[in-house]
């Protein structure tokens, strides 16, 4: 059994679609998969959240669990406080993930927002939950200008907390990448301190679900069960050319 914490360098950068891709590849390999969403924000009661989106894309074989839901699209601690609802704490996340891990081959814990977004008034974060679980963090990053700094900061924060980074995945690779995005294919591993583990194409979440499942493995490296090759990808995308 394996627990992977999926976080990122910001919000709306492809964490859910990346989580779905990892889940789809694992399911195709015959593994049992659970996805834990500690805090869903910005979704009304009864509405489809990130966990439901993972199921839609990866398949009904995914077990999903949401610990808390807050209606306003804010950081979990603020959203909970404004809604008058209980906050989620890192230990809650760790306990729920550990229980799921006793029943599944792979547990993916998808955070809200960026790595150090607060879960509670004590300043607990998803990174703290990863430390409690002794689980690696899959860091979803952006492709273009500014990503090197945010990736380096996230990697430094993980090291300072004694949390292992599994590696970065580009959550939305542009259909027409600019020079910065292409150069970042070589520079992101330097700032992350680990090799790139994949690049999910822009718009992947809009694909027909069977197509998404069939193609997901080509977006992820062997460490995540896929066939993506960083060197081949960089050459194909014209790395270093104008």
User: Which residues are catalytic, by number?
Assistant: 37
Are 54 and 62 contacting, i.e. CB atoms less than 8 angstroms apart? yes
For the chain, where are the alpha helices, taking DSSP H only? 15-28, 50-58, 76-83, 90-101, 126-133, 147-160, 179-192, 209-215, 230-236
**106-110 and 137-141 beta bridge pairing:** unpaired
DSSP letters of 144-159? STTHHHHHHHHHHHHH
Pairwise CA distance, residues 17 & 14, whole Å:
5
Contacts of 29 (CB under 8 A, 6+ apart): 225
Are 86 and 79 contacting, i.e. CB atoms less than 8 angstroms apart? no
- 3-state DSSP call for residue 10? coil
Pairwise CA distance, residues 134 & 151, whole Å:
21
Pairwise CA distance, residues 180 & 178, whole Å:
6
């Amino acid at each position: 059994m394996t627990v992977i914490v999926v976080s990122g360098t910001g919000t709306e950068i492809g964490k859910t679609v990346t989580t779905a891709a990892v889940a789809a590849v694992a399911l195709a390999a015959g593994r049992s998969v659970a996805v834990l969403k500690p805090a869903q924000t910005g979704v009304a009661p009864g509405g489809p959240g990130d966990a439901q989106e993972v199921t839609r894309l990866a398949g009904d074989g995914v077990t999903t669990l949401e610990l808390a839901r807050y209606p306003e699209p804010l950081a979990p601690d603020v959203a909970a406080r404004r809604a008058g609802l209980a906050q989620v704490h890192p230990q809650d996340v760790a306990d729920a993930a550990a229980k799921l891990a006793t029943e599944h081959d792979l547990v993916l814990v998808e955070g809200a927002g960026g790595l150090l977004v607060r879960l509670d008034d004590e300043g607990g974060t998803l990174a703290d939950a990863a430390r409690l679980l002794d689980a690696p963090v899959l860091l979803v990053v952006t492709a273009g200008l500014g990503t090197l700094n945010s990736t380096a900061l996230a990697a430094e924060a993980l090291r300072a907390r004694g949390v292992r980074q599994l590696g970065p995945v580009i959550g939305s690779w542009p259909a027409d990448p600019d020079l910065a995005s292409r150069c970042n294919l070589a520079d992101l591993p330097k700032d992350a301190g680990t090799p790139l583990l994949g690049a999910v194409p822009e718009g992947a979440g809009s694909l027909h679900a069977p197509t998404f499942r069939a193609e997901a493995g080509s977006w992820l490296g062997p460490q995540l069960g896929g066939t993506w090759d960083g060197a081949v990808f960089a050459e194909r995308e014209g790395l270093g050319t104008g």
